[in-house]
Amino acid sequence: MGRWFHQHLGPLIFGVVGVVFLIVGVGLSWGSYATGQQAKAVASLPLVNAEQLSQLAAGQQVGVEGRISERNTAAYEELVIYTARRFRGIECDRNSNDNTRSNCKQVWDEVERVAPAIWLDVPGGRLRLANANYALYHPPEQWQNTPFPVEGRTLEYSGFKVGSPVFVSGTIDPAGDALRADFLSGGDRAAYLAGEQQSAGILLIIGLIFGGLGLLFAGIGVAWGFWA
């Protein structure tokens, strides 16, 4: 058994690497598909104003374009809605052979999230969001509290201030004059859909690359094992 394992160690390594790459590729491709489907679903929603909202049945899913109303109070600086991330440092992969570092990336941890029930100025009047902690996409405002990232000290703020244009997807609240938001995105619906389509395309390309490499490594492993 030990001799067989030694003889087939190389093919096994290639096979395992191939399977891992394939799994990652399939996952990324599925993420691309799911993102595209969500974008299609949002694109099909009726885009309504304040007057139309009051005439629709509770529970119906709709889209709304508007701006963060001046009726809201800023939670931090000028931001009504925001997330804060702390810079944790830089992490790299280490080469076990020579202890060199590669594939370095910055690491940020979310330390605060403020997404309250707010008011929006929309065509035909004002609209209230009935819930809090909805998803946030494409925030237009972003800054850091230090000129450059400092480990453990730098905070990055991303969010929306009064007057920021937004697109909201959600369901009509039973109260009739409010919306239970699924997400709030910076810009209009066209900007949201363009961003989602771009993300889906990037995920698909990366997924195909990983999947292709997985097939290549797995094929090498099978061929090597066959001739070993």
Element housing 191 (H / E): helix 189-227
Model's pTM, two decimal places?
A: 0.77
Question: For the residues 116-131, what does the mean pLDDT come to?
Answer: 91
Question: Is the CB of residue 161 less than 8 Å from the CB of residue 74?
Answer: yes
Please tell me which residue, 43 or 77, carries the higher pLDDT value. 77
- Would you give the distance in Å from CA 81 to the centre of its chain? 17
- Sheet of 79-94: strand order equals 101-114, 79-94, 155-161, 141-144
Which range (63-72, 85-94, 128-137, 152-161) has the least confidence?
85-94
What's the one-letter identity of residue 32? S
pLDDT of res. 13: 74
pLDDT of res. 5: 52
Question: For the residues 3-12, what does the mean pLDDT come to?
Answer: 60
pLDDT tens string 175-223: 767 899 999 999 888 888 887 787 777 777 887 887 788 777 777 767 7
Residue 129 pLDDT class (50, 70, 90 cuts): very high
Which range (54-58, 137-141, 170-174, 177-181) has the least confidence?
54-58
Q: What is the DSSP letter of 55?
A: T
Question: Is the CB of residue 91 less than 8 Å from the CB of residue 101?
Answer: no
pLDDT of res. 36: 72
